[in-house]
Chains A and B, each alone.
Chain A
Amino acid sequence: MDASWKPKHRGTLATEEIEDDLFLYDPDKDHVHLLNVSASAIFELCDGTRTAQEIAQEIAKLVTPGDHDIGKDVEHTLGELREKGLIK
């Protein structure tokens, strides 16, 4: 993943919160998506101003420190969001 990439979600998406999940509709592809609480938090930070590393730093402030590698988790989620066309 390009370290200088600042992911940004696409403006044409419609979104609604359902409990902790984020429910999205992509009119261009006519697809709906459901993001869990972690993916939603990462998605919300994709406003084009932060790199993946900076997003991981923000997420680290929200979670209890543990064994998992937040940087890798964020990279993985960003890859999935990009693959689904939800961020660019």
Chain B
Amino acid sequence: MKKALLSEVIEVQTDVPEVGGLLETFFQAFPPGQGAPTLVYTIRASNGKLWVLEGNGKAEVPLFCGDSPVEIVYLIESFFYNNILPSVNEWLLLHAAVLAKGGRALLLLGPSGSGKSLLTTALLEGTGGFSYLSDDMAPLFVDPGCGQCRVAPFPRAIRLREWVPLPFSLPPNQCLSLSSQSQALCFYFPVQRFATAESPVSLLLFLECNPSRLELLRLKKGEAALYLTALTLNKSGYLMDGGLRFIARVAQEVPTYRLLWNEPFRAVETIEKLFLELK
């Protein structure tokens, strides 16, 4: 498998057929990598475990191992996300889910547990007609042609914690499960909704679960900048290299709100209404 993940071309080789199939599933919506890979990994079976090794051929370095094909593919995907991509400095990488409709993008921002994946899934399953760009990482950039702040697709699987009961059912043939001692995850691949095009960013929503109420609060531009910085994944280097200016620009140009939410369907109604109003 050779795929383009932002500016990296990553190649993963394996002689384990089930792992090869799962790699294709997990990375199905990423574009194929062109040219020589910048990073190469190999997955091999050894002593009852599946190992990820950095490099191919002679100079291989073992990185980590897993017990099952699903686990090892999940681990290598998380490794790219946590260790490789945050060092990329050409983009502002935000901890956010991204949906688009009518050529405009909506970002749902928040730390783990704030409801990004659940509300993303609810918005995709609803009647609003959103397409899917990302569940967990939003790569923003300035279009050099028109000067717009835009977001590129980063179509990872949507990962839902299985202990959170969903108020709707998902198509079983688009889901994979991973259960281990430490976690239980469901990976949802919204195959009919993957977007391939970049979109201008038109709404930022910072999510907060709140057991008692639903409330939408407009943020001042300075506050928006603070919130954005807190959820920047590639702070190191990037903020001192022009990134702070870009964050200030996004905060000044894009309408930004805090959404306190306690029930997914009402939250979805609020989001859809606001998105429509801002058209």
Contacts and interface: CB of A to CB of B under 8 A. Distances in A.
B222 A18 contact: yes
A27 interface: yes
A25 B244 contact: yes
Interface residues of B, number: 18
B239 to A, nearest CB: 5
A21 B239 contact: no
Determine chain A's interface SS by DSSP, over half rule. Answer: strand
B274 interface: no
A18 B252 contact: yes
A14 B239 contact: yes
Contacts of A19: 220-222, 252
A15 to B, nearest CB: 8
A23 B248 contact: yes
7 contacts: A16-B225, A18-B252, A23-B226, A25-B244, A27-B240, A32-B225, A32-B230
Given A16-B245, A18-B225, A21-B221, 12 more contacts: A14-B244, A15-B244, A16-B247, A18-B248, A18-B251, A19-B221, A23-B244, A27-B240, A30-B236, A32-B229, A34-B222, A34-B225
The 8 closest A-B pairs by CB, nearest first: A16-B248, A21-B222, A32-B229, A14-B244, A34-B222, A18-B222, A25-B239, A23-B225
Interface of A: 14-19, 21, 23, 25, 27, 30, 32, 34
Interface of B: 220-223, 225-226, 229-230, 235-236, 239-240, 244-245, 247-248, 251-252
